[in-house]
A and B are shown apart, each in its own frame.
Chain A
């Protein structure tokens, strides 16, 4: 089945220790998104790619970076995680028109 796969499912990292979350997709979608969802809150868009064209949200902290080496893979790098970065990180993909929007199962990140 075509899908969006996130790894790892759970990640615990120390305050200030860099961490990388990964997302892969078999849908061949051109657009990939990263959302942050804190407990009992709405998912919040961090950034997205139209193919290799990177689009950052104005309020995404500089601490958060992303890479998309090819169509299938996208990475979220958090350079110096703070306690406030504890959240579920959701990867999603879609076609150019925002069609076929599909989410991965998420990575639950805990910063200690």
Chain B
């Protein structure tokens, strides 16, 4: 079993739709949760960072963490064609090695 599981998609939605992206993880030592956006042939760009259960909102983006279920989500409201990219969840422990463990990414296509 992978430490972080993420549906690879592709996910295709019409412009203006609400998008839900999800990851599950297996290691309860993971304490920090991130969502990255990666455009084709570019490096990952940090979208959201959180360390507690609950919701965190930033503009059209909401990150949700449920530590009891080991489940994290990213919601995108009013999706735009410019949101078309691959979205990677990344998780980090709070001790020892601080490298990120990534999901495999979900490819999102927002149709105009």
**B44 at interface by CB-CB < 8 Å:** yes
9 more contacts with CB within 8 A, not counting A42-B88, A45-B99, are A31-B98, A41-B104, A48-B99, A92-B100, A94-B98, A98-B98, A101-B34, A101-B46, A106-B41
Q: What is the interface size of chain A, counting residues whose CB is below 8 A from a CB of the partner?
A: 24
Cβ contact within 8 Å between A40 and B43: no
Q: Give the complex CA separation of A48 and B100 in angstroms.
A: 11
- Residues in A whose Cβ lies below 8 Å from that of B44: 43, 90, 103
B97 sits at the interface (CB 8 A)? yes
Within 8 A of B (CB), among A68-112: 88, 90, 92, 94, 96-98, 101-106, 108
Q: Is A55 an interface residue (CB 8 A)?
A: yes
Q: Are B42 and A106 in contact (CB under 8 A)?
A: yes
**Which B residues are in CB contact (< 8 Å) with A45?**
99-100
* Residue interface mask B25-53, A partner, CB < 8 A = 1: 00000001010100001111110000000
Interface residues of B in 59-112 (CB under 8 A from A): 88, 92, 97-100, 102-105, 107
Q: Are A90 and B98 in contact (CB under 8 A)?
A: no
Cβ contact within 8 Å between B100 and A101:
yes
Cβ contacts under 8 Å, B98 to chain A: 31, 94, 96-98
Please, which residue of chain A has its CB at the minimum distance from the CB of B105?
A42
